[in-house]
Amino acid sequence: MSTPIRFEIRDRIATLTLNRPDKLNALVPEMKEGFEEALAKAAEPGVKALFLRGEGRAFCAGGDIGWMAKALAEGRWSELEALLDLGAAVAFTLATLPKPVVAVVQGPAAGAGMSLALGADLRIATTEVLFSMAFVKLGLHPDWGGSVGLSRLVNPAIAAELMLTGDAIDAARAQALGLVNQLVPADHLEAAVDALARRLAAGPAATFARIKATLLRNQGLDAESLRARLEAEGTQMKAAMRHPDAKEGLAAFLEKRAPSFA
């Protein structure tokens, strides 16, 4: 059985790959150990940068809706909340990791998948990419640092639009909003990734760390305030999951119908 997280370090570049391509790399609790081990190794001195990837035709479709619906129906709150806590921990680690983090995005990056991409410092995307803060369509609140990351990157009106509608945006609009640093055709993606990886591998690690700290500080954040924002986001999502709208939203998605929210 394949592992849901793959990790490797090559030429001073770490790569964490979500490896559930048949489920569009949807997030499940079984990824916890893989995330924790990978992020710990990425923090080691010999690594210059971390790349986040998704296997197959998607970056990440967000939480595994089938698993979430079943867990919610069975009242497995500890498992659901553990997945949310993992997301907050991942988002915190990516933001405070003293080295560049790059998301390589192809195909869908929805819900927590978009959140994960926004947690990176840089994003390379293909022209086929679709980003969506789709939580609201399921009666849910953004998680995995999505509300925090989006608010760091775009103005409040755009953040409100994307979170309140959940509508997908294509590659061109994502780039225009500043959510994508480099947009390339799918057949040029690996060349673009390799070029950036080589450049970062040759860069000054100590200066990278200082720049990461400065980027946070210039947005009025430090480790303590960032953690507080992520915890507040998680509190809202945990409350949303316990509201009847969440059960209805998840069921409607699986049944391929429009939800009937309260």
3-state per-residue secondary structure call for the chain:
CCCCEEEEEECCEEEEEECCHHHCCCECHHHHHHHHHHHHHHCCCCCCEEEEEECCCCCECCECHHHHHHHHHCCCHHHHHHHHHHHHHHHHHHHHCCCCEEEEECCEEECHHHHHHHCCCEEEEECCCEEECHHHHHCCCCCCCHHHHHHHHCCHHHHHHHHHHCCCEEHHHHHHCCCCCEEECHHHHHHHHHHHHHHHHCCCHHHHHHHHHHHHHCCCCCHHHHHHHHHHHHHHHHHHHCCHHHHHHHHHHHHCCCCCCC
Q: Which two tokens stand for residue 40?
A: 């710990």
pLDDT at 126: 97
Q: For the segment 52-92, what is each residue's pLDDT rounded down to a tens digit?
A: 999 999 999 999 999 999 999 999 999 999 999 999 999 99
Residue range 179-186: average pLDDT? 97
Q: For the segment 11-54, what is each residue's pLDDT rounded down to a tens digit?
A: 999 999 999 999 999 999 999 999 999 999 999 999 999 999 99
Distance (Å, whole) CA 47 – CA 33: 20
Q: Cβ atoms within 10 A of the Cβ of 87, count?
A: 26
pLDDT at 2: 82
pLDDT at 30: 95
Q: For the segment 91-129, what is each residue's pLDDT rounded down to a tens digit?
A: 999 999 999 999 999 999 999 999 999 999 999 999 999
pTM of the model as a whole:
0.97
Residue range 148-174: average pLDDT? 97
Reply yes or no on whether the pLDDT at 1 is more than 70: no
Distance (Å, whole) CA 145 – CA 122: 16
Residue range 236-261: average pLDDT? 96
Q: For the segment 185-213, what is each residue's pLDDT rounded down to a tens digit?
A: 999 999 999 999 999 999 999 999 999 99
